[in-house]
Amino acid sequence: MRVSFKLNGRPVEVDVAPNELLINVLRDKLKLTGTKYGCGIGECGACTVLVDGKPVLSCLTLAVDVNGREVVTVEGVSEDGNPTPVQRALVEEGAIQCGYCTPGFVMVGEYLRSKKRAYSEEEIRSLIRGNLCRCTGYVNIVKALAKALGGG
């Protein structure tokens, strides 16, 4: 089946099988490997991308489902080639260790930023509970998101 959608601002067309998952199309066919496979069953959040501005787990999303929609991956969030405030904060706050979960946190962070409101620490912790990190204990991730999202 042929699906066409907007990927990181540019139109793409790609042949997919009806049962093909978005994560595999992004990684294997479109060579965007920033989206990570962590569990394949929607538990870890490493494969999070934005579809029409909302975070979805690309390991649980059929590629045909994004036909005609807009997909943004970690490779597509930068603003004129510069890191976003969320990315900058993650770098500056030491929120990155092994980095494998990082793209998922970037995408959730970008979604929260698009809401243009401030989040408390409790809200941030609740909103990222679907993203697992094994290295940082989430301390500096929460700190970074609070900084980028102007949390109170």
Contacts with other proteins, residue ranges (CB under 8 A) = 17, 24, 27-28, 32-41, 43-44, 46, 73-75, 78, 83, 87, 90-92, 94, 96-103, 106, 121, 124-126, 128-143, 146
Continuous segment of H or E residues that includes residue 70: strand 70-72
Tokens 């790609």, located at residue = 14
State the nearest-atom distance from the C-beta of 76 to other proteins, in Å. Answer: 9
Q: By the 8 A CB rule, do 49 and 76 touch?
A: no
Largest CA distance in the chain: 47
Is the Cβ of residue 98 or residue 118 nearer to other proteins in the bound state?
Answer: 98
State the nearest-atom distance from the C-beta of 82 to other proteins, in Å. Answer: 10
Residue 15, C-beta contacts closer than 8 angstroms, at least 6 positions apart: 1, 2
State the nearest-atom distance from the C-beta of 61 to other proteins, in Å. Answer: 17
C-alpha 67: how far from its chain's center?
Answer: 19
Q: By the 8 A CB rule, do 106 and 147 touch?
A: no
State the nearest-atom distance from the C-beta of 30 to other proteins, in Å. Answer: 13
